Structure 1
Amino acid sequence: MTEHKGQVVGYVRVSTADQNEARQVEALGPVDKMFSEKVSGKNTHDRAQLQEMLTYVRDGDRVRVKSPDRLARSTTDLLALVEQLKAKGVALEFVDNPALNSDTPQGEFMLTVLAAIAQLERKTIRERQAEGIAIAKRDGKYEKAPKLTLEHIAEARARVDAGVPKALVARNLGVSRQTLYAALSGSGKYAALAAV
């Protein structure tokens, strides 16, 4: 059996159809296989070439990208991709940011620091949201909008009248039975809707 000689796999992304990826391709230098796409980096799952590249790479390969922002739009996405590649035994190299290369002690340290910062940021955001909600509740300003619209309520009423169990109707609408009962009786948050 022949041993797999690791390949250098390039990944290039430009945001819009009128941008040219030639600069990135040139910066990457010679690669064994290139994946290139013209798409917003907002969602990693909507990027066909990225997903194809992640499926293609094998243990011992190296993915070469010009800079972290070409691979991911957020620290969280970047770290998730780094972990995904690491789990496959694939190294990640950034031409513009060699300090972040995943196969060096410095790169691993920098990525660990980024992960800690991202985690702290998520916790801080959650704390701020919780504090804001607590203040709004205290001041009587926090009122979640009703989950069911008038159309949902009419549909639910028709289904219940047709003999469908309320528990099933609630489950299909993605609400609790209590929410469905309140909506059908026009009580609580649904009192205003019932008056319409």
Structure 2
Amino acid sequence: MLIGYARTSTLEQEAGLEAQIRDLTALGCEKLFREQVSSVAPRKVLDGALEFARAGDTLVVTKLDRLARSVTHLGNIIAALEAKGVALRIVNLGVDTATPTGKLMLNVLGGVAQFEREMMLERQREGIAKAKGEGAYKGRKPTARAKTAQIEALSAEGLSMAAIAVRLGIGKGSVHRALNPKAA
């Protein structure tokens, strides 16, 4: 049986999810698992797809980044699939682990994907550092500090830190720092 898995990171990516579902259906996937969750969040639907798969089945994804967040994560998924006798097919790469060549290609491509992600993050950090150096990147404005007078007034009325935080829409730690500036 072909089992399809589709994922997007956010609810705003509905079109991307629908495109994956359309492609998986066209490939003949009899069972589809879909979720909209960040790559770093727990993926209960993916876990359900792995649990559902039986010996002789093939798990199909349209792209590698829809499945795994890192080479280690990919390795864990492949190990779980292999232990059950389930193959993995990644459509856009033309990889199918039902073949020895497919297994080799998947490991190589997983390493390249992780390398590219690490390079992208490094470039992002360098860009932020450059922007900070030029004074163009200052981070977000300290919203809680601007509310210090309100925090002190509500505290004087006898409200708890938690109640102040809820009323002003800020964190309890921010209330604590505003009321105890020497401790911060």
What TM-score do the two structures reach when normalised by structure 2? 0.55
Does the C-alpha gap of structure 1 residues 142 and 50 become closer, same or farther in structure 2, counting only changes over 3 Å?
closer
Could you tell me which residue of structure 2 aligns to residue 87 of structure 1? 80
Q: Which amino acid aligns with 2:133?
A: R
Match of 1:127 in 2: 122
Are residue 11 (structure 1) and residue 9 (structure 2) matched?
Answer: no
Counterparts of 2:160 and 2:65, CA distance in 1:
46
**Secondary structure at the counterpart of residue 144 of structure 1:** coil
Stretches of structure 1 lacking an aligned partner (at least 5 in a row): 1-7, 29-33, 186-196
Q: Structure 1's 48 and 42: CA in aligned 2 closer, same or farther, altered over 3 A? A: closer
Kept after mapping to 2: 8 A contact 1:75/1:114: no
Distance 1:128 1:148, change over 3 A: same
CA deviation profile, 1:103-127 (whole Å, cap 9, x unmatched): 4332222111122112111211121
Distance 1:19 1:130 in 2: 37
Q: Which residue pairs with 2:26 in the alignment?
A: 23
Q: Is 1:98–1:107's contact at 8 Å kept on the other side of the alignment?
A: no
Paired residue for 2:171? Answer: 173
Using the TM superposition, give the Cα deviation of residue 139 of structure 1 relative to its aligned residue in structure 2, in angstroms: 1.3
1:28-107 to 2 correspondences below 5 Å:
34-36=30-32, 50-57=46-53, 60-65=55-60, 68-69=61-62, 74=66, 76-77=68-69, 80=73, 83-87=76-80, 89-90=83-84, 91-94=86-89, 100-107=95-102
Please point out which of 123, 132, 135 is paired with 1:137.
132
Q: AA paired with 1:143?
A: K
CA contact (8 A) 2:70 2:110 kept: no
Change (3 A) 1:126 1:97: closer
**Which whole-Å CA distance do the structure 1 matches of 2:69 and 2:152 have between them?**
43
1:142 Cα shift? 1.8
CA distance in 1, matches of 2:172, 2:97: 42
Indicate conservation of the 8 Å contact 1:99/1:110, yes or no: no
Give the CA deviation at 1:144: 0.4
Return the alpha-carbon distance in structure 1 between the equivalents of residues 18 and 43 of structure 2.
11
How many residues matched? 161
Q: What residue ranges of structure 2 are gaps of 5+ in the alignment?
A: 7-16
Counterpart of 1:62 in structure 2: which amino acid?
D
